[in-house]
Structure 1
Amino acid sequence: MKNNWILLTFLSLIIFSCGKAEREEIDFDKWGDYWFQGQAEISSFELIQNRYGEERSGEAVLIFVTEDFSRKRHVKLDEPDKAGSDKVSILKMNQTRDFVTGIYPYHMMLSAFTPTKEKSNGLKFTASSQEWCGQTFTQMNLNSGDKYSGKLFSYFEKEGDESFSVSGIMEDDLWNLIRINPNQVPLGSVNILPSLLYQRLSHREFVAEEAFIRIQDLSDNRKQLELSYSSGKRVLTINFEKEFPYQILAWEEIHVRPDGNKEITSAKRKGLKIVDYWKRNRVEDEFLRKELNLNY
């Protein structure tokens, strides 16, 4: 019994000492000079959001920032220096979309949390939508490998409050993988869960689908990620800078309706700023919004 206990203890120490696999072919010294400077990258976009069969002018914002995250609880750590092995560095993307349908507005937000150095799928994804009919909230948490557990809280009767699970990669993870390094994007055939914002607007079930990913050159300094679903109902393209830090320049989403008509949503960058926005909350800081060409 004593020998078994010693063996188990020894094996536990070996497993604990083995670090997580790291992402390869990335210059993390150069990467850290940009991302670990205690500021966020904020970019604003002119948004054309297709909703109810019509194009709506609006505004989108992408916020990228690194944080210390709890790998167990999937929340930002208040005291990372005391967290020990529970601490994991992540790149967070917040994407907001604001647009108006007739008399009432939509306010949508997507968040994605992806480990920076550790080779792992995104740990957590959330999406919320507020409009005058009501609000919804979706959260996905990585259990292990590519297995996610999810919860949906909705005011729609057919959806209600729902728990579900799904296996595959998350479309919403692709944005962060581009920013970490495009070589981290899985190419070719994939099993992928469509964007949480797309699912919110389409009310589709949370089911992973077959799709194909490729990255191609657009020009000497631009590349494009193209995600095409095998169903033929959805195509996402993301245009980004060819060189580090691979900033997002534009994106387009094509949804094919049952009658064959296409609904196109697009966004084009209009402003960018590197700033510690969480400290800029005074009236005198509102000039920064003008520098970003923000209207909403």
Structure 2
Amino acid sequence: MKQIILSAMILSFVACAPTNSQDKKSINQPAKKLANFNDYWYAGEAEITSYKLEQARYGEIHSGEAVLVFVTEPFSKSKQVKLDNWRDESEDNVSVMKLNMTKKFLTGIYPYSMMMSTFTPISYDQYPDPFKVTTSSQEWCGHTFMQLNLRDKDYRLRGFSYFESEGDVDVSVPNVILEDELWTRIRFNPENLPIGEIKVLPSTFYLRLRHQEAKALKANASKLEVHTSEFSSNPHSIYTLEYESRKLSIYYERDFPFTILGWEETYLSGFGNPELLTTKAKRINTIKSAYWGKNSNKDREIRKNLGLSIH
């Protein structure tokens, strides 16, 4: 029994741990090696950035918190899950950058808790498409879950919802650019971001909040260099997607590691007579941390450094 408990404790400890830079003989390298890429992303820590969130919902703006957690992990190409044996030297072991994006905000009496995870291969010349995206949303009415898995030329989309009209779905979605992958593309090398008229599967957060069908839409993608904005007083860049009825702008630092400073998202919000509102997230702080090992009560102090609520 003690051996079983110990094994479970070890498994739970390494469940979130990234790849160790000293044991990555077979791990794919970035297609374009940037200065300090390995030193930054394979140092045994995740990058955690907190944001002050103003979320559009039900025709109003609601205050909340958002967090972006970026970390590299060993990923099973065949099973599309994190490898338990991160020393696996087979071709099935592909190094990915995982993004966990969370949003928490209140709408009146009840809270929303949303999370999106994207698993993007670092060697995007060898593996040009994300392997997987998962998104969940919880609030007092119920919860929903969506998962995209790369299957040859298409994505398999499975969705589960408490809404009758959305129900349980299992369909194929053509392989196009995923809006959810663009956050990790920025962190790899923003020079490789798509520009011009492109086909994009909109954010899974957006699909959920607006109860939209998961299908590709045309968007115009552009980049802009600015000297200053409300997101930073230093020169930085803006990557923008403009759809017919929605606009997303991601603000990020010009130099490596291309930290995301914040974002704006404008679309009609509400039912009946929707209002054109803008969701906005502005960075509070960024830290590097092996957070999976910081799970005691005293470690709550770290949340203060991030400007996040204790609960």
Instruction: Indicate whether 1:237 and 2:249 are aligned.
Output: yes
**Structure 1 stretches of at least 4 aligned residues deviating more than 3 Å after TM superposition:** 21-24, 256-261
Check conservation: 2:59, 2:274, Cα contact below 8 A: no
Under a length normalisation based on structure 2, what TM-score does the superposition of the two structures give? 0.84
- Aligned match of 2:159: 152
Task: Decide which of 92, 102, 105 is 1:99's aligned counterpart.
Answer: 105
Give, in angstroms, the shift of residue 187 of structure 1: 1.3
User: For residue 120 of structure 2, what is the aligned residue in structure 1?
Assistant: 114
Q: How does 1:98-247 map to 2 (within 5 A)?
A: 98-119=104-125, 120-145=128-153, 147-167=154-174, 168-219=176-227, 221-229=235-243, 232-247=244-259
**1:253 maps onto 2:262 in alignment:** no
Asked if the contact 2:59/2:275 (under 8 Å) is kept, the reply is no
3-state SS of paired residue (1:85):
coil
Specify which structure has the higher proportion of helix: 1
> In the alignment, does 2:69 pair up with 1:63?
yes
- Distance in 2 (CA, whole Å) between partners of 1:208 and 1:137 is 19
Aligned residue number for residue 84 of structure 2: 78
* 114-123 vs 188-197, greater mean Cα deviation: 114-123
Matched length: 274
Q: Is 1:283 matched with 2:297?
A: yes
* Distance (whole Å) between structure 2 residues aligned to residue 22 and residue 283 of structure 1: 37
Cα drift, residue 121 of structure 1: 1.2
CA offsets 1:107-162 (integer angstroms, 9 cap, x no match): 000111101123211110010000000000000011134x2110001010111111
**Native 8 Å contact 1:221 1:243 kept in 2:** no
- Distance of 2:194 and 2:172 partners within structure 1: 22
* More moved, 62-71 vs 162-171: 162-171
Counterpart CA distance in 1 for 2:184 and 2:156 is 20
Structure showing greater radius of gyration is 1
State the SS of the aligned residue for 2:91: helix
State the partner residue of 1:8: none
Q: Aligned partners of 2:124, 2:35: CA distance in 1, in Å?
A: 15
Where does residue 53 of structure 1 map in the other structure? 59
Q: Which residue of 2 aligns with 1:12?
A: none
TM-aligned CA distance change 1:35 to 1:23, over 3 Å: closer
Which amino acid letter does the alignment assign opposite residue 31 of structure 1?
F
Output the aligned Cα RMSD.
Answer: 2.0
Return the letter of the residue paired with 1:289: R
Instruction: State which drifts further: 115-124 or 274-283.
Output: 115-124
Tell me by how many angstroms 1:22 deviates: 7.6
CA distance in 2, matches of 1:184, 1:115: 14
User: In structure 2, how many angstroms separate the alpha carbons of the residues matched to 1:248 and 1:281?
Assistant: 26
User: Does 2:38 align with 1:32?
Assistant: yes
Q: Distance in 2 between matches of 1:188 and 1:144?
A: 26
- Retained in 2: the 8 A contact 1:22–1:118? no
**Unmatched tracts of structure 1, length 5 or more:** 1-18
User: Alignment partner of 1:48: what SS?
Assistant: strand
SS of 1:286 mapped into structure 2? helix
SS in 1 for 2:198: strand
Quote the sequence identity (%). 44
Structure 2's unaligned 5+ residue stretches are 1-25, 228-233
TM-score w.r.t. structure 1 length?
Answer: 0.88
Q: Distance in 2 between matches of 1:23 and 1:164?
A: 32
Cα deviation, residue 206, structure 1:
0.7
Q: Deviations over 1:46-91 (max 9, x none)?
A: 0000100000000000000000001111100010223510000000
Shift of 1:263: 1.8
